[in-house]
Homo-oligomer: A and B are copies of this chain.
Amino acid sequence: MKPASKPSVHDPARGAGRRSARGEAARRRLKEAATRVLDRVGFHQMRVKDVTDEAGVAAGLFYHYFKDLRELVDELLDEHIAGFEAVEAIERDVSKGDWFNRLRAHYEICVRVHAEHPGIMRCIAQFSADDPDFRERWKRSFDRRLHLLIDVFPYVFPKCSLNKAEVELLVHGLGGVGKELMSEYYIDRDPRLRAVELSQAEMAEWLAALLYRGLFARNPPAGQLRYASRILEITRE
């Protein structure tokens, strides 16, 4: 039932030659099954049979579409990583000088993917710890966003004498703000943290505010805080 949808020739995967719409759909069904298995057991416990069972097909069919689990999961992760990289779309409604809202916009997408696809994010963490090539790919995506700040750092802080490499280090240090928390809140779902129910927008704002404080050593503009205004109370004035 697909209108003139292009027969995917772009597929770098092996055996990507001719494939019917029916086959395309089966391939996607396997990927969706894999996503569910990832959420349940994580990459290292996932077996080919888990995926084919979840999809309700025979084990052998897997190899008609994928070389191995790694190929499938790589494709899956790529789809999500691409979302992180759409910097222009992310910052569409924010002015360049408005750092608090820029930070917020980036956290919003990051929080969203964590909340909606915890298995995918856990898998990204697992691959990053394991495989230098994947880590490089993931880090490039992250670096790209950090460089939005690194590249203009000298203009934002004209009095600061840190050189380029030192700024890189500093921004990477701050860039970690929230990663741990998102992982514990959305992937691990730690009950003690879950005691506070936060919407995605609230989580993103809190994290943006924390990073803002680390970066500017002051609070974000009070008027821009929609949920996290109580962060202004955290002070010893």
State the copy count for this chain: 2
Q: Which residues of B contact A159 (CB under 8 A)?
A: 233, 235
Q: Which of B166, B198, B217, B233 contacts A213 (CB 8 A)?
A: B217
Chain B residues within 8 Å of A122, by CB: 129
Distance A4 CA – B206 CA, assembled complex (angstroms):
57
A193 and B208 CA atoms in complex are apart in Å by 24
Asked whether A235 and B157 contact (CB < 8 A) given A44-B44, A165-B192, A174-B210, the answer is yes
Per the bound structure, the CA–CA distance linking A230 and B236 in Å amounts to 23
- B residues less than 8 Å from A125 (CB atoms): 125, 129
A170 to chain B, nearest CB (A): 7
| Contact (Cβ within 8 A) A178 B176 | yes
Please tell me which one of the listed residues B160, B175, B180 contacts residue A234 in the complex, with CB atoms under 8 A apart.
Answer: B160
Query: Is A168 touching B181 in the complex (CB atoms < 8 A)?
Result: no
Interface of A (DSSP majority class): helix
Is the CB–CB distance between A176 and B173 below 8 Å?
A: no
Cβ-defined contact, B233 with A160, below 8 A:
yes
- Chain B residues positioned under 8 Å from A133 (CB to CB): none
Q: In this complex, which of A122, A125, A166, A172 has the most chain B Cβ atoms within 10 angstroms of its Cβ? A: A172
Q: Closest Cβ of chain B: how far from A53's Cβ, in Å?
A: 21
Given contacts A42-B130, A132-B188, A214-B214, 13 further A-B contacts (CB under 8 A): A45-B130, A126-B130, A159-B235, A162-B234, A168-B195, A169-B185, A169-B193, A170-B206, A176-B179, A177-B177, A179-B179, A216-B234, A218-B218
